[in-house]
Structure 1
Amino acid sequence: MPPEEGHEVVCHLDDLLADRGMTVAALAEAVGVTPVNISVLKNDRARAIRFSTLTAICEVLQCQVGDLLSVRSVQPTS
Structure 2
Amino acid sequence: MPDTELSGVHCRLDELLTERGMTLTRLSELVGVSLVNLSVLKNDRARAIRFSTLTAICRALRCDIGELLVVTPTPEAQP
Does TM-score exceed 0.5, indicating one fold? Answer: yes
Residue 61 of structure 1 and its aligned partner are, at CA, apart by: 0.3
The equivalent of 1:46 in structure 2 is 46
The equivalent of 1:18 in structure 2 is 18
Alpha carbons of structure 1 residues 74 and 61: separation in structure 2 relative to 1, 3 Å: same
1:54 counterpart letter in structure 2: L
The equivalent of 1:65 in structure 2 is 65
Measured against aligned partners, the alpha-carbon deviations of 1:14-47 in whole angstroms (never above 9, x if no partner) come to 1100011111111011000100110000000000
Unaligned residue ranges in structure 2 (runs of 5+) = none
SS at match of 2:49: coil
8 Å contact kept, 2:28–2:38:
yes
1:21 counterpart letter in structure 2: G
Higher fraction of helix = 2
Q: TM-score, normalised by structure 2?
A: 0.87
Q: Give percent identity, aligned residues only.
A: 59
Higher fraction of strand = 1
Let me know the Cα RMSD of the aligned residues. 2.0
Alpha carbons of structure 1 residues 63 and 76: separation in structure 2 relative to 1, 3 Å: same
Unaligned residue ranges in structure 1 (runs of 5+) = none
Aligned residues: 78
